[in-house]
Amino acid sequence: MWVDLIVTVIKVLVVSTVLLTGVPIMVWVERRGSAMIQDRLGPNRVGPMGLLQPVVDAVKLMTKEDLTPEGVTGTNRFLYLLAPAIALVVAVSTFIVVPFGYDPGLELFGHAIGGFVVAPDLDLGILYLFAVGSLGVYALVLAGWGSNNKYSLLGGIRASAQMISYELAMVISVVGVLMVTGSFSLDDVVLHQAGTWFGFIPKWNVIPQLIGAITFMVAVFAETNRLPFDMVEAEAELVVGYHTEYSSMRFASFFMAEYINMITASSLIVVLFFGGWTLPGIATPGGWLGALATIGIFAAKVAFFLWFFVWVRWTLPRFRFDQLMALGWKWMIPLAVLNFLWVGVAMALGYL
Amino acid sequence: MGGPLEPLFDVEEMELSFGPQHPATHGVLRVQLKLDGEKILDARPIIGYLHRGTEKLFEQEPFNQCIPHTDRLDYIAAPTNNQGFVVTVEKLLGITIPPRAAYIRMILAELGRISSHLLWLATHAIDLGAITPFFYTFREREEILDLFEAYCGARLTLNAMRVGGLPYDLPDGWVERCAEMMEAFPAHIDEYETLLTENRIWKKRTVGIGVISAEEAIDWGLTGPPLRGSGVKWDIRKVFPYDRYDEVDFEVPIGKNGDTYDRYLVRMEEMRQSVRIIQQCMDRLPDGPIMAKVPKVLRAPEGMVYASVEAPKGELGYFIVTTPKGSQPYRCHVRPPSFVNLQSLPVLVDGLLVADLVAVIGTLDIVLGEIDR
């Protein structure tokens, strides 16, 4: 019992530490990456190659004055204060079902660690993720409402419309993957993708379900409010949208939530469509060394997609809000349904 | 039943004061918006936040000392502001400037045009969410500002022209440096275009946005790229040539549809034409004096004069009234292109969304310095 608890606590601590340190690293990658794309240097003064810049930024944010805008009182003030907390809690708690490595039955203090995932027994897996993840929209709407600022309000309204629309496309494009796997558990999804076709093509879902993978990736960009779908922030139109009025650590909470969501989104892309921790030839290695290798593979794949997020952001212009909705409803959802039909037909004919 | 549907709950328009502190209004412009959701029902530009009384200042200074004030009108493109003023005073006094001075003026003016268009492209793209072109254009703009600095010591407020010619000749090696930059520049324009011109999202955001027909554009008094984007071939450099623009060969690019995308294409092509003009001027740069013989204290005859030049934003005109033997303008009115172009904002954004307002403000390429004066 106690050992069980200790093992879980260690897992939670390790994962949350990795996630929260992932944020400053991502910020650094974003800033240096954008600098590279834009033919400039980027932050390079604090620490080697500017690596300590995010630390300094965090210290700066923590020591800033925490302002509440005038006229935000009573219930609105409660909502205003609650919103960043929701954003951060939702962002951190969605990651607990993501399997980030293979567990060949390892033990810690004589007790099975039960897989490299914080909540191994949550068979709902992906459903839990979507259910909790969709709560994230409350943070944006409440922040927009509670700020007593018209730009924030517009940002909050955009957020609700955008996230609800794209959640549909996202969920439908995942249905194909779940059908092939026959399970909601993300561990099973990954294990299903182990092995190869003809000995060299990895059995990743992206190959038979390319349309699904693309719709999922586009939807994820919209869900994480990244360019070209960052209507919610759209600094040129709405100043910065829902978090215009936030300062200090409350602003930092939104900022961190955004980056944690990016990490979760990249992990999901990897788990659902790019074989998770597997590589052709490496699926279920034994021992601690093998487990660490799978974690390394997973991290490398996630890092690639995180870089992809950065890359896209600094290359493309922004959609207009109505165009984004049109894209979501007229293209993404039909394409996702098409993918789901194709998987159904292919399974019925015995191809998948 | 019958009759119009009653809304289930009260709906009201939202009033939004867009600016004067807003990242996308290009200065201290304020647009009073009436919104239905995100749809613009009414947009009223409110100006005056940058009023400095420039026209009044003109009345207290001798002609040559007015020139620094002109720098601060359209502070993005100071050379054409200087040029407009000195060309007007020269017309009033009947001065012909030496050819070398005219050619150097044209080089400076066209460099100013390029730098202005680069800044326009940078901010316009950033308003539509494309952040990266900003840094590319500023890389080249920096080189142009370095050229200005090498010529007159200043980078933005140049004060680079005098009635009757120029204050300084070009320093040694300047022409070579400029030629080198102009050699490389068209490739840079191609680079910006690869990021934007055929980009699907860019086209979605600009094609068919802020459309104005040729007749309407003329009725509203638009000049410069907003007029040419609607397909009207009107360029002061061609129709009323000043300095030596009649001696150089260049095209006036025009658009077809009068939308934001066409205005974008027009400005991109104008940069290429400016490069052509600069190269021709440098090839033909004559030797000789840079100043006509003018008295130390300029005394104007009584009269009124209007002259205009093609500034990057459109027709920049000066109207000067003088008293007998006056050494300074009795009254000087500036016709800034941005002020007139901005008037068309409510027409251009009618029925569009808030996001398009940003695109339209960007495509008009306004500078509040010359709107408020």
In DSSP notation, A198-257 reads: TTTEE--TTTTTHHHHHHHHHHHHHHTT-TTS-TTT-HHHHTTGGGTT--HHHHHHHHHH
**pLDDT at residue B4, rounded to an integer:** 65
Confidence of residue A160 (pLDDT cuts 50, 70, 90): confident
What would the mean pLDDT of B318-344 be, rounded to a whole number?
Answer: 88
Q: Are A237 and B135 inside 8 Å of each other by CB? A: no
Find the Cα–Cα–Cα–Cα dihedral B261, B263, B269, B271, rounded to 10°.
Answer: -120
Q: Are A321 and B38 inside 8 Å of each other by CB? A: yes
- A40 interaction partners in chain B (CB closer than 8 Å): 135
Cα separation, B107 vs B272, in Å, equals 14
Q: Is the pLDDT of residue A115 over 60?
A: yes
- The pLDDT tens digits of the residues spanning B85-135 come to 999 988 888 888 999 999 999 999 999 999 999 999 988 888 888 888 888
A228 touches chain B (CB under 8 A): yes
Q: Is the pLDDT of residue A17 over 80?
A: yes
- Quote the tokens at residue A143: 């922040």
- Please give the DSSP secondary-structure letter assigned to residue B169: P
Tell me which chain A residue has its CA closest to the CA of residue B204. Answer: A319
- Please give the DSSP secondary-structure letter assigned to residue B300: B
Among candidate residues B282, B275, B237, the one with its CA nearest the CA of residue B100: B282
Cα separation, A139 vs A255, in Å, equals 12
- Quote the tokens at residue B130: 């494309």
Confidence of residue A161 (pLDDT cuts 50, 70, 90): confident
Q: In total, how many domains does chain B have?
A: 1
- B22 interaction partners in chain A (CB closer than 8 Å): 239
Residue with tokens 């205003």: A80
Distance (Å) from the alpha carbon of A176 to chain B's nearest alpha carbon: 29
**Is there a domain that residue B5 lies in?**
no
- Interface test with chain B among A157, A237, A238, by most B beta carbons within 10 Å: A237
Of chain A, the end-to-end C-alpha distance in Å amounts to 42
Q: Are B128 and A236 inside 8 Å of each other by CB? A: yes
Tell me if A291 sits within 8 A of A101, measured CB to CB.
yes
Q: Which residues contact B199 (CB under 8 A, 6 or more apart)?
A: A316, A317, B130
Tell me if A91 sits within 8 A of A138, measured CB to CB.
no
- The helix/strand/coil state of A192 is helix
Cα separation, A187 vs A104, in Å, equals 12
Instruction: Give the length of chain B.
Output: 373
ipTM score of complex: 0.76
- Quote the tokens at residue A307: 């870089």
Distance (Å) from the alpha carbon of B85 to chain A's nearest alpha carbon: 35
**pLDDT at residue A118, rounded to an integer:** 67
**pLDDT at residue B118, rounded to an integer:** 92
Q: Are A319 and B201 inside 8 Å of each other by CB? A: yes
- The pLDDT tens digits of the residues spanning B40-96 come to 888 888 888 888 888 888 888 888 888 898 988 888 888 999 999 999 988 888 888
| Domain containing residue B61 | 14-372
- Per the DSSP assignment, residues forming a β-bridge with B303 are B322
Among candidate residues A348, A174, A198, A201, the one with its CA nearest the CA of residue A269: A174
Provide the CA B145 distance to its chain's centre, in angstroms. Answer: 16
Among candidate residues A9, A22, A12, the one with its CA nearest the CA of residue A299: A22
**pLDDT at residue A236, rounded to an integer:** 66
DSSP states of B53-116 as a string? -HHHHHTTS-HHHHHHHHHTTSTT-HHHHHHHHHHHHHHHHT----HHHHHHHHHHHHHHHHHH
Instruction: Give the length of chain A.
Output: 352
- Please give the DSSP secondary-structure letter assigned to residue A57: H
Q: Is the pLDDT of residue A283 over 60?
A: yes
Cα separation, B128 vs A145, in Å, equals 25
- Per the DSSP assignment, residues forming a β-bridge with B43 are B33
What would the mean pLDDT of A169-181 be, rounded to a whole number?
Answer: 87
A38 touches chain B (CB under 8 A): yes
- The helix/strand/coil state of A18 is helix
**pLDDT at residue B194, rounded to an integer:** 86
Q: Is the pLDDT of residue A266 over 60?
A: yes
- B127 interaction partners in chain A (CB closer than 8 Å): 236
Lowest average pLDDT, out of A254-268, A273-287, A302-316, goes to A273-287
CA triple A135-A102-A183, angle to 5 deg: 55
Helix intervals (H) in B320-353: 337-342, 345-349
* Residue B237, domain CATH: 1.10.645.10
Q: Is the pLDDT of residue A235 over 80?
A: no
Distance (Å) from the alpha carbon of B220 to chain A's nearest alpha carbon: 26
- Please give the DSSP secondary-structure letter assigned to residue B288: S
- The helix/strand/coil state of B165 is strand
**Is there a domain that residue B1 lies in?**
no
For chain A, the 3-state helix, strand and coil shares in percent, each to the nearest 5, are 65, 5, 30
Label residue A88 left, alpha or beta by phi (over 0 means left) and psi (-120 to 50 means alpha).
alpha
**Is there a domain that residue B335 lies in?**
yes
**Is there a domain that residue B9 lies in?**
no
The b/e string for B69-105 (b: 16+ C-beta within 10 A; e otherwise) is bbbbbbbbbbbbbbbbbbbbbbebbebebbbbbbbbb
Q: Please return the burial class of B212, using the count of CB atoms within 10 Å of its CB with bins 0-12, 13-18 and 19+.
A: buried
Cα separation, A32 vs A101, in Å, equals 28
- The helix/strand/coil state of B16 is strand
Cα separation, A285 vs A139, in Å, equals 41
**pLDDT at residue B1, rounded to an integer:** 47
Q: Are A319 and B204 inside 8 Å of each other by CB? A: yes
H or E element: which one contains A326?
Answer: helix A321-326
State the CB neighbour count (10 A cutoff) for residue B65. Answer: 14
State the CB neighbour count (10 A cutoff) for residue A180. Answer: 18
**Between residues A192 and A282, which one has the greater pLDDT?**
A192
- Quote the tokens at residue B366: 């306004």
| Domain containing residue A208 | 2-348
What phi and psi values does residue B334 have, to the nearest 5 degrees? -105, 135
Q: Are B354 and A315 inside 8 Å of each other by CB? A: no
* Helix, strand counts (H, E) of chain A: 13, 4
Q: Is the pLDDT of residue A165 over 70?
A: yes
Among candidate residues B119, B129, B155, the one with its CA nearest the CA of residue B26: B119
By Cβ distance, the residue of A314, A318, A321 closest to B128 is A318
What amino acid occupies position B92? L
Cα separation, A251 vs B3, in Å, equals 49
- The pLDDT tens digits of the residues spanning B196-238 come to 888 888 888 888 888 888 998 999 989 989 999 898 888 888 8
- The pLDDT tens digits of the residues spanning A61-107 come to 888 888 888 777 777 888 888 888 888 888 888 888 888 877 776 77
Cα separation, B173 vs B178, in Å, equals 9
Q: Please report how the helices A74-94 and A136-146 are oriented relative to each other, as an axis angle in degrees rounded to 10.
A: 160
Cα separation, B76 vs B144, in Å, equals 12
Q: Are B135 and A38 inside 8 Å of each other by CB? A: yes
What amino acid occupies position A193? Q
What would the mean pLDDT of B284-311 be, rounded to a whole number?
Answer: 86
CA triple A195-A201-A203, angle to 5 deg: 40
Distance (Å) from the alpha carbon of B29 to chain A's nearest alpha carbon: 14
Distance (Å) from the alpha carbon of B357 to chain A's nearest alpha carbon: 8
Of chain B, the end-to-end C-alpha distance in Å amounts to 58
What amino acid occupies position A84? P
DSSP states of B311-361 as a string? ETTEEEEEEEEE-TTBSS-SEEEEE-HHHHHHTTHHHHHTT-BHHHHHHHH
Q: Is the pLDDT of residue B263 over 70?
A: yes
**Is there a domain that residue B243 lies in?**
yes
**Is there a domain that residue B43 lies in?**
yes
Mean per-residue pLDDT of chain B: 87
Tell me if A276 sits within 8 A of A193, measured CB to CB.
yes
* C-alpha pair distances (Å), B10 with each of A151, A315, B7, B36, B69: 21, 42, 7, 13, 52
- Quote the tokens at residue B215: 């007749």
Please tell me whether the peptide bond between A228 and the residue prior to it is cis, using omega within 30 degrees of 0.
Answer: yes
Q: Are B129 and A321 inside 8 Å of each other by CB? A: no
Tell me which chain A residue has its CA closest to the CA of residue B15. Answer: A150
- The helix/strand/coil state of B306 is strand
**Is there a domain that residue B6 lies in?**
no
**Is there a domain that residue B2 lies in?**
no
Q: Is the pLDDT of residue B143 over 50?
A: yes
Mean per-residue pLDDT of chain A: 83
- The pLDDT tens digits of the residues spanning B150-181 come to 998 888 888 888 888 888 888 988 999 999 99
- Per the DSSP assignment, residues forming a β-bridge with B291 are B165
Q: Are B355 and A38 inside 8 Å of each other by CB? A: no
Cα separation, B84 vs A33, in Å, equals 44
Tell me if B226 sits within 8 A of B263, measured CB to CB.
yes
**pLDDT at residue A151, rounded to an integer:** 83
